[in-house]
Structure 1
Amino acid sequence: MDQVMTKKPHEMLAATLSQELDAVNVLIRKRMASEHAPRIPEVTAHLVEAGGKRLRPMLTLAAAKMCGYQGDHHLKLAATVEFIHTATLLHDDVVDESAQRRGRPTANLLWDNKSSVLVGDYLFARSFQLMVETGSLRVLDILANASATIAEGEVLQMTAASNLKTGEDIYLQVVRGKTAALFSAATEVGGVIAGASEAQVKALFDYGDALGIAFQIADDLLDYQGDSKATGKNVGDDFRERKLTLPVIKAVAQATEEERAFWTRTIEKGRQQDGDLEQALALMAKYGTLEATREDACRWAAKAKAALEALPDHEIRSMLSDLADYVVSRLS
């Protein structure tokens, strides 16, 4: 990569929080160890060391630092957030029968489904140990609720993903569960541990919630119009996997009887054939649903930025604002 290229917002945030992130990484490696089951650190390391952006733990560190926190409990909370995220990825790859994540073979492919599920369970248990060590019942409540919401969102997605009756309200509920719940919990606990005011804690929650929704809508849109080299996914993977995401939901809502029959065959019944992806893209173009989805993502990014106005004037606040812009800049 060109060294003179301007750093992306998450890279600038990582640079600003480098000392804290290093400490979190040390903590993660220490807590994912197991004296009696060596497979646990093997499986965990495969995913944790895969080069993810550590965006969610960074949000916790950023929120705490922006609100003037001086202790070290935010490190434990950042590690907690990463463990919850990693556990859900391990479970998701089993449920989705995925073979690749972040350009590498998934843990369930390299080991087996049982190992992935059980190691995910171990990480959830570790995350609760870390939460308790902060001594904050409120933090425990926030992250426990987020964990339950994530699981609920995944189950809802499983039942709604190929059902043409799924509307935008259910889609938003799924997105809040599978993605935004951990974003909002990550930012909220950072403010709580720092002793921020109720208004600031609410603003941090609102920022994380809106950022997570914008992030997931953008991700779903990129499945249909992204660069596969940049996204790590093939264009149309969600269509081939019969996932009803926002661009398709919007197209189904406006479909003629003949078009609805097409969506029923390809999404509900899964009887896909050559040329179906092209036809799906043509129908989305006909009703402008890709552009409408992009506008939705931008609206949520704007909500995230607006929430920041209630927070302290700090260099990190500017980076978080830029991060909201960056999440949707990928769509231009």
Structure 2
Amino acid sequence: MTIGIAAYGRDAGLAVLRALAAVEAVGRGAIGGFVSMVAISSAGVLVRAETQRGGSARLFEGGLASAPGALLEAGIAGLMSSGPDRPEPLSQFTPALADVGLVTGHRMPNTMGAGGLNLNDEVLDLLRRGIGVDEAVQRVLAANPGSDAGVIALSIHGEVCAADSAHVERRGDRGRALLRAAGGDAVVAVLHNSIHPVRPLAQLAAEVALDVMLPADRADGRIRLRSGTPLRLGPANAVEIAPDGMVETVLVEDPRFLDGGWSLGLGHETAVLGAGRLMGAMLYEPYLVVQDGLVKTLDGRDDIFIPIRVSADRAPPGRL
């Protein structure tokens, strides 16, 4: 009966939307109805989007392409979604303060608690008063063990806590995921229930969101490989490039590939060498057909550009 997703990092707004869309595409149950979304823009302004029916596909009139840039590019964002037609205003499910952070969750975190405030509002108020996210969430849930709620609190600094009340912890259909990128550049938290299949969905949503914010294959340069490029025996598979980024030699560790016809891949994140030094890693592995020590085709073509990640102490190759 709901999913809550919160993310901190580059393009966090887009990240939570893509995560929700992934769950809608794979899951079944309490999904595809209302969405209440909030983001804190780079200008420090709350940006909201909501719909009562249709899930992420109906959140914007012209689809995701028509979503406000300030929302998609926001560095902190959260949403809550479930079946259709929830009580208005939908913003009650995702309270936020631009200089503090946001709160989302699953089940009914907008329920009145023992402190006289809605649970999610009380958590947000504690954050406003300088209480850390872990203490704020645990304090409210401990005071309301019988509440039918799970809460995600996310500060503007990327501190996050996602937890369920004692009552919700007894459910057999709940999912939870919390992923942090090394270095703290991105974080994602997910809580859900009544959406099947239960076990993989929270992890799926979190991984999709993290991939939007910090894609492992985000390129900062490219190299060019053409048919006719020679192969040479080397200690490991690699490519050697000229200063302009053109591949001059393909190194292979298996001598069999130097004679006759073969199909091969060079492996995951194959090294890119320049002047004998490591320049970076290939982020795409083309399907190579080689003949008598020369590249014949690459993905069935004669010429291909390959995205690369440049080593931290190296400049990208020159323009091709």
Query: Which has a greater percent of strand?
Result: 2
By relative contact order (CA 8 Å, sep 6+), the higher-ranking structure is 1
Q: Max radius of gyration: which structure?
A: 2
